[in-house]
Amino acid sequence: MSALLTRTLTGVLIVGMILAGLLIDSLSFLVVFLAIMVATQWEFYRLLRRIKVRAQILQGVMLGIGMFGMFFLVAIRLLPVRYMALLLVFFPFVFIHEIYAQHNRPFHNIAYTFLGLVYIALPFALLPYLVFDVHEKLQPFFMLEGEEDLLNFLIQPGYAIEYDPSILLGVFLLIWMYDTGAYLSGVFFGRHRLMPRISPKKSWEGVIGGTAAVLVTGLALGRYLPVLGKVEWLLLVFVVVVFGTLGDLAESLLKRKIGVKDSGHILPGHGGFLDRFDSFLLIIPVVTALVIFLQG
């Protein structure tokens, strides 16, 4: 089977999984993206063993799950924002573990454990803020006083929560079209290397082809997916091109430092989860900030 066919079939499976997670309901969204986050974070920590960094896999993954869950509950208003402070209580345990573990480079382990949270867990944890639209109606349950308030809350919840994956779906479409355009342009026309010191295969022709593909996609989204305006979609196109390219290069820098071609082998033709979601990890924080700013 040719490399292109293998890559295409695997890509179809990945796209199908993500679309199922987005389009079925909010529970499928939670399950699919939490699973992808855990797999990506686990892969990142395991990869570090090649450079003798013993990042705390279990602690890091559990903190990532806690972060995702807490952000999810706050996004749907089941918890107030102040409850996020509870996550901070568990951070010192990363240091405490190294005190007793007697590893040779304890602060390397601590630093890379937290890097897995910032680099991987945080972008996934921000996703609920792109798919839930919350309208305030009455006071939330943690502010209820007396039986009458409780009865009113049960009859008419304090917040009307609407699950709408349109923005995140559009962002994924932009990422996929940029990746596809860049890959095909790079394969057939790539001559001038973008940054050979980090990634010898990425080319300026790939960037140009990917930009053309994502620009057409952004214009189509502005017309057929009016959850954002045309200008807003074009801003997201800019974010995908710039930060998608940088995310790809950042992961290539990591692999070059470690001395591997792919972050894993679980996705034939794509490598590992980190290879597949490298651009996503830098795009999502910027997209979230932009969408929150634009929508107030």
Q: How far is CA 233 from CA 42, 217, 285, in A?
A: 33, 9, 16
Q: Is 83 or 5 the better-scoring residue by pLDDT?
A: 83
Q: What is the spatial distance between Cα 243 and Cα 236, in angstroms, rounded to a whole number? A: 10
8-state DSSP, 82: G
**How much of the chain, in percent, has pLDDT values that exceed 70?**
88
Please report which confidence band the pLDDT of residue 192 belongs to, taking 50, 70 and 90 as the band edges. confident
Let me know: does 201 contact 261? Beta carbons within 8 Å.
Answer: no
Is the pLDDT at 272 greater than 90, yes or no?
Answer: no
Please report which confidence band the pLDDT of residue 178 belongs to, taking 50, 70 and 90 as the band edges. very high
- Across the range 53-78, mean pLDDT stands at 93
Is the pLDDT at 138 greater than 70, yes or no?
Answer: no
Let me know: does 285 contact 231? Beta carbons within 8 Å.
Answer: no
Q: What angle do CA 238, 10, 217 make, to 5 degrees?
A: 25
Q: What is the spatial distance between Cα 213 and Cα 177, in angstroms, rounded to a whole number? A: 6
Beta strand spans in 129-173 (E): 132-136, 159-163
The residue assigned the tokens 């355009």 is: 181
- Across the range 89-101, mean pLDDT stands at 93
Let me know: does 125 contact 73? Beta carbons within 8 Å.
Answer: no
Is the pLDDT at 149 greater than 80, yes or no?
Answer: no
pLDDT of residue 271: 78
- Across the range 190-212, mean pLDDT stands at 84
Q: How far is CA 252 from CA 23, 142, 171, 260, 261, in A?
A: 31, 46, 22, 9, 9
The residue assigned the tokens 């309901």 is: 25
- Across the range 43-51, mean pLDDT stands at 93
- Across the range 252-269, mean pLDDT stands at 83
- Across the range 186-211, mean pLDDT stands at 83
Q: Which amino acid is at 256?
A: R
